[in-house]
């Protein structure tokens, strides 16, 4: 029993008993003292039960905290999400991982359905920047590896010069795509033969989602060019309608790089807003887009 509660309450009981004995008759004082003892015993019993409940709650909280540090974002027994950091995640963004011992809880049909949803999300992401894009697994990954955030590779087509892409999902369920070009060197004569063909070049696919195009293509190239140009004293560059990035050098336009699938002019205003989020100032000037960083 808690000593801090027991001692004061016992002292109060003794004082009350003495007062009853001094102020009232013997018979009445005995009844009052018995009633006081009964109330005191009831009070001590309630205190004991409360102390036991507090100890159980403290132990349960310690167990939940240890479990949350081992498995972040696992729901506890009260239906709340526990986490070892302060990131606030809305239900729409958060998707809890499937732990190894939970895989048995899903049937083969359910696992196949989850994998199908993942494939559709990859397709939607790629087609947001390349409308004609198609893909396939380089090596089909394990579902648990995907949900654990591991990176896996896919083969892509109709994405300009890109042949592969690395895919991963972060702890919030957001998909990350890193396109790349992988291929063997071909003989020079094969290249010349290909150049002699009269097959017309395919038209560039229309951009469906400017933000996704910027994340997959534009941001990386612009960051590289701006870093290099800033080091050489430049403070702005120009993006032409066909995606060519140029800078002025001795009053001449020098081609620095080309942005694949650069959005059409009707998307430029949205692109200006997206560039502003990266602390870049963009201005539409006729058939070109001027980007400055100072």
Q: For residues 281 and 3, which has the higher predicted lDDT (pLDDT)?
A: 281
* C-beta of residue 181 within 8 angstroms of C-beta of residue 162: yes
Q: Which of 6, 13, 44, 42 is nearest to 21 (CA)?
A: 13
Query: Are residues 106 and 114 in contact, defined by beta-carbon separation less than 8 angstroms?
Result: yes
Of all residues in the chain, the percent with pLDDT exceeding 90 is: 13
> What length is written for the chain?
294
At 217 the pLDDT is: 87
Residue 267: burial class (beta carbons within 10 Å; 0-12, 13-18, 19+):
middle
- What number of other Cβ atoms are within 10 A of residue 24's Cβ? 14
| Cα dihedral 136, 138, 140, 143 in deg (nearest 10) | -90
Segment 61-73 shows an average pLDDT of: 50
Per-residue pLDDT tens digits for 241-293? 999 999 987 778 889 899 988 988 888 999 999 999 988 999 998 899 999 98
Is the pLDDT confidence value at 227 over 60? yes
How far is CA 178 from its chain centroid? 16
Q: Which helix (H) or strand (E) holds 82?
A: strand 81-82
CB 163 within 8 A of CB 178: no
């Amino acid at each position: 029993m808690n000593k801090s509660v027991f001692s004061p309450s016992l002292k109060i009981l003794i004082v009350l008993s003495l007062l009853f004995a001094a102020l009232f008759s013997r018979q009445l004082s005995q009844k009052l003292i018995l009633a006081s003892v009964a109330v005191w015993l009831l009070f001590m019993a309630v205190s004991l039960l409360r102390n036991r409940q507090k100890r159980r709650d403290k132990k349960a909280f310690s167990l939940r905290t240890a479990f949350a540090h081992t498995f972040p974002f696992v729901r506890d027994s009260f239906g709340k999400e526990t986490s070892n950091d302060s990131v606030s995640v809305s239900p729409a963004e958060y998707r809890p991982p499937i732990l190894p011992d939970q895989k048995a809880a899903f049937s083969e049909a359910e696992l196949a359905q989850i994998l199908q949803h993942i494939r559709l999300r990859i397709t939607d992401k790629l087609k947001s920047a390349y409308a004609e894009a198609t893909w396939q697994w380089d090596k089909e990954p394990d579902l648990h590896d995907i949900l654990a955030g591991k990176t896996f590779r896919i083969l892509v087509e109709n994405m300009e010069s890109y042949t592969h892409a690395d895919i991963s999902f972060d702890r919030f369920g957001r998909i990350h795509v890193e396109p790349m070009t992988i291929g063997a060197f071909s003989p020079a004569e094969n290249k010349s033969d290909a150049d002699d063909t009269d097959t017309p070049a395919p038209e560039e696919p229309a951009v469906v989602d400017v933000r996704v195009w910027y994340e997959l293509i534009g941001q990386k190239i612009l960051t590289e060019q701006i870093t290099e140009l800033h080091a050489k004293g430049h403070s702005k560059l120009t993006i032409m309608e066909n995606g060519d990035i140029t800078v002025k050098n001795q009053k001449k336009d020098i081609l620095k790089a080309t942005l694949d699938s650069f959005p059409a002019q009707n998307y430029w205003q949205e692109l200006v807003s997206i560039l502003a989020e990266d602390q870049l100032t963009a201005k539409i000037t006729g058939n070109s887009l001027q980007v400055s960083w100072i």
